[in-house]
Amino acid sequence: MAELNLLTDGGSFFEGPRWRDDRWWVSDFYRHGVYTVTTDGLVEKVLDAPEQSSGLGWLPDGSLVYVSMVDRKVMRRSPEGETSVYADLSGYATGHVNDLVAANDGNVWVGNFGFDLMEGADLQPAKLMRIDPEGKLSVAAEDLYFPNGMVITPDQKTLVVGETFGNRMTAFTIADDGELYDRRDWAEFGPRPAPGPRADMLKQLSIGPDGCCLDAEGQIWIADAFNQRCIRVAEGGEITDEIKAPEGQGVFACMLGDTDGRTLLMCCAPDSSAKRRKQANEATLYTARVAVPHAGNP
């Protein structure tokens, strides 16, 4: 088992981890901001996100784009530090906007919950949205069960989306114009749950893909939100490695980074309850060294 090392603690709920400019970047839901963390644990708040930031990415011009969850928008911070609304998803998203991934050409894909997760609503499928390089918003795919963490392969030809409540990772081929086609299962962890009451659906789930990242062997590290671990998964669904969260913690996102791309950052917290996480700063960032380096986006 890989050795876990505490990088920093005192967060409310870390999400959307990325590696850029020789440091980690993370959102913290209930401290309402985007933070950077150096490899020796120095934390700095980069920007305020009053409506709860999550997924992060960068456009070709160096602008940071980040999800604003509660008001269902994607924001853009220019290289000069000016912040503006990049896309308003409120007419399409049926739940909080969540993670995103940015391609090298400036296309951005954005997921949403699809339903009111924190209030215990029954699950409803969601749309995956695309923001093209000109900032135009369109529906990229439909009928996804909580589209969450996403990766793009190094050749920029395949998008893989984690369906947290769908028991699977779903792949699409990316056309030259940014449209998605050839939808298929990249990894299936169990049957797709039948629609129905939330409690019944939860009983049908075996793995809950949350934040994720791709490595140079084409396998995906996935934060398994239901089982307090990160798993490394090959296409087809074989689990080839596992790193358990610290005792009493779950893991809700992960990212490969560091100077050699071989450090796995894990975003941990006791649970994902908004009510409990708002009341306590118990979230942590842990690291573990792995053999295969990062690849692709994010």
Residue at 89 is within a domain: yes
Average pLDDT of every residue of the chain: 93
The answer to whether the beta carbons of residues 29 and 13 sit under 8 Å apart is: yes
What pLDDT does 162 receive?
97
Rg for the chain, CA atoms, rounded = 17
Q: Which amino acid is at 189?
A: F
**Residue matched to tokens 């030809």:** 157
Q: Once rounded to an integer, what is the mean pLDDT over residues 88-101?
A: 91
Which CATH number belongs to the domain containing residue 73 in this structure? 2.120.10.30
Strand-by-strand arrangement of the 97-102 sheet:
97-102, 108-112, 126-131, 137-144
Which tens digit of pLDDT belongs to each residue from 157-198? 999 999 999 999 999 999 999 999 999 999 999 988 877 777
Strand-by-strand arrangement of the 73-77 sheet:
53-58, 64-68, 73-77, 83-88
Classify each residue of 139-165 as buried b or exposed e, where b means 16 or more C-beta atoms within 10 Å of its C-beta: ebbeebbbbbbbbbbeeeebbbbbbbb
The dihedral region occupied by 228, where left means phi > 0, alpha psi between -120 and 50, and beta the remainder, is left
What pLDDT does 144 receive?
94
Residue at 105 is within a domain: yes
Q: Once rounded to an integer, what is the mean pLDDT over residues 206-216?
A: 96
What pLDDT does 119 receive?
60
Tokens of 186: 């990249």
What pLDDT does 143 receive?
92
Percentage of residues in the chain having pLDDT higher than 90: 83
Which tens digit of pLDDT belongs to each residue from 136-165? 999 999 999 989 999 999 999 999 999 999
Residue at 263 is within a domain: yes
CA distance 267 to 249: 10
Lowest mean pLDDT among 1-5, 51-55, 118-122, 236-240: 118-122
Residue at 295 is within a domain: no
Which tens digit of pLDDT belongs to each residue from 110-145? 999 765 655 666 777 899 999 999 999 999 999 999
Residue at 298 is within a domain: no
Range of the domain at 18: 4-289
Residue at 90 is within a domain: yes
Distance of CA 26 to the CA centre of its chain: 11
Which tens digit of pLDDT belongs to each residue from 267-283? 999 988 788 888 889 99
Residue at 296 is within a domain: no
Say how many domains are in the chain. 1
Residue 25 binned pLDDT confidence (cut-offs 50, 70, 90): very high
